[in-house]
Amino acid sequence: MPQLGLLPRRAWAALLSQLLRLPCSSCTQAVRCHSQVAGAVLTSQLKAHQKKPNFIIKTPKGTRDLSPQQMVVREKILDLVVSCFKRHGAMGMDTPAFELKEMLTEKYGEGSGLMYDLKDQGGELLSLRYDLTVPFARYLAMNKVKKMKRYHVGKVWRRESPTIVQGRYREFCQCDFDIAGQFDPMIPDAECLKIMCEILNGLQLGDFLIKVNDRRIVDGMFAVCGVPESKFSTICSSIDKLDKMAWKDVRHEMVAKKGLAPEVADRIGDYVQCHGGVSLVEQMFQDPRLSQNKQALEGLGDLKLLFEYLTLFGIAEKISFDLSLARGLDYYTGVIYEAVLLHTPTQAGAEPLSVGSVAAGGRYDGLVGMFDPKGHKVPCVGLSIGVERIFNIVEQRMKTFGEKVRTTETQVLVATPHKNFLQERLKLIAELWDAGIKAEMLYKNNPKLLTQLHYCESTGIPLVVIVGEQELKEGVVKIRSVASREEVAIKRENLVAEIQKRLSES
């Protein structure tokens, strides 16, 4: 993990005054202070740092670097996710990190306040993207694309209060899969749930459950409970917190803060406790109040069909119809879903990791139309994998089990036991590189053999090619296996072929 380097006031003052007072003629390679502009900037920097004596070298709040070890884990997870998306026929695409601010406003409901805006530096007003869904809808409308199955892996940014323990960051990576186009009902929706199951199974995160609901059922429920239409969106946001807050606290928020009548809240309370399989769908069809609402009936009809397809896919037992699921984002219009892990896969004794949902999504049939000049709609359904949370779980598991990862893929170290063999090593290693073999050497004129062998052991390099005086004289090189310590001499001209043979066998 990155350590924070605390920079004491005195050290900064010393460093900076050194920089500023250096006569330019003795300007070191390290510091180019001969520019007047630079000097001015340094002066203002100095002031800034003196005002902040506890200046710390750090990444911005809620963000982090990924170390090489973390990067390896991250890439394994992303590879698995992307290969699943490709298995389902998705194409890749990319959009800029920022969008015109007006493209993003009025898409996220209460979340909009968490958007990162760019400073007005005399051009367009821009914001960092908040998710990958709205840029996708903008792309479809802009290019008049009516049908597309795409995945997108990229960073998004939200100015949330970071509680890093829970795996929440202000910069995080999303992996999205979406199907855009006018199709027969629930077939693409069912595939999205199948994909979520395949990914969560593939990552071996332990048992999981996917909660399913429909925005039309949520709205219908609000209507029959007596929620004023003007409060639908904000009450929806409150309900969305039920996975993190107890019902009584959510109820309090709705009544005390959002002015909902207590009896209305209690009626909602009866519904949001319901969850179950397809039988609950049937039961809700019979519900005296809900069955009077046209929207809710549409939602229930679609859920019934969805469960039929999920059964054919063999994943129905992983899905729970859950009336407490609301999803925070404003753009959903139909089926919504969210995957939660049922237990943390760490060993007994390890700190249990609270992770929240690890994947989520839903149907948003109106979003593209909001961008289209004529309001032409392109129905869409999709899902997003919460890689950061999954990453935290996998990292925790690796710590628990003491798993180590190699951070490089180097196959061969080119080494020598003798002095003045740099030239030979350089010739040898260029030959290996040109043959596509992953090779390293120590960047020293005369490294010690032991140092070279230790480097292999500490970084996991399996083979060493050794050239010394004797070898040079005989026109051979030695190949050493780091694991067995066995060495064999082979003809210099057979080196590449021999290495390739050994690597293909291992």
Binding-site positions for L-histidine read 131-133, 158, 174, 178, 327, 331-332
- Using CB under 8 A as the binding rule, whether residue 98 contacts a copy of itself is answered as yes
Please select the residue that binds a copy of itself; options are 243, 287, 365, 469, rule is CB under 8 A: 365
- Using CB under 8 A as the binding rule, whether residue 37 contacts a copy of itself is answered as yes
Both tokens of residue 457? Answer: 């052991």
Please select the residue that binds a copy of itself; options are 47, 50, 79, 89, rule is CB under 8 A: 89
Considering the complex, state which of residue 279 and residue 408 has its C-beta at the smaller distance from a copy of itself.
Answer: 408
Output the smallest distance, CB 313 to a copy of itself, in A. 5
List the binding residues.
Answer: 131-133, 158, 174, 178, 327, 331-332
Considering the complex, state which of residue 276 and residue 468 has its C-beta at the smaller distance from a copy of itself.
Answer: 468
Please count the other Cβ atoms lying within 10 Å of the Cβ belonging to residue 398: 14
Q: Which stretch binds a copy of itself (CB under 8 A): 11-19, 245-253, 276-284, 491-499?
A: 11-19
How open is the CA angle 481-484-487, to the nearest 5 degrees?
A: 50
Binding to a copy of itself in span 412-441, by CB under 8 A: 422-423, 426-427, 430, 433-434, 436-440
With helix as H, strand as E and coil as C, how does 2-58 read? CCCEECCHHHHHHHHHHHHHCCHHHCCCCCCCCCHHHHHHHHHHHHHHHHCCCCEEC
Considering the complex, state which of residue 427 and residue 501 has its C-beta at the smaller distance from a copy of itself.
Answer: 427
How open is the CA angle 56-62-66, to the nearest 5 degrees?
A: 85
> Kind and range of the H or E element at 360?
strand 357-363
Rounded distance between C-alpha atoms, residue 455 and residue 450, angstroms: 8
Q: What is the dihedral of CA 129, 131, 134, 140, to 10 degrees?
A: 100
- Using CB under 8 A as the binding rule, whether residue 405 contacts a copy of itself is answered as no
Rounded distance between C-alpha atoms, residue 227 and residue 438, angstroms: 65
Binding to a copy of itself in span 247-306, by CB under 8 A: none
Binding to a copy of itself in span 319-358, by CB under 8 A: 330-331, 333-334
Rounded distance between C-alpha atoms, residue 473 and residue 127, angstroms: 66
Rounded distance between C-alpha atoms, residue 340 and residue 354, angstroms: 11
Please count the other Cβ atoms lying within 10 Å of the Cβ belonging to residue 476: 19
Binding to a copy of itself in span 447-506, by CB under 8 A: none
Q: Which string of x and - marks every residue 231-250 that binds a copy of itself (by CB under 8 A)?
A: xxxx----------------
Q: How many residues form the binding site for a copy of itself (CB under 8 A)?
A: 144
Considering the complex, state which of residue 350 and residue 449 has its C-beta at the smaller distance from a copy of itself.
Answer: 449
Q: Are the C-beta atoms of 223 and 293 separated by less than 8 Å?
A: yes
- Using CB under 8 A as the binding rule, whether residue 68 contacts a copy of itself is answered as yes
Considering the complex, state which of residue 125 and residue 488 has its C-beta at the smaller distance from a copy of itself.
Answer: 125
Output the smallest distance, CB 343 to a copy of itself, in A. 24
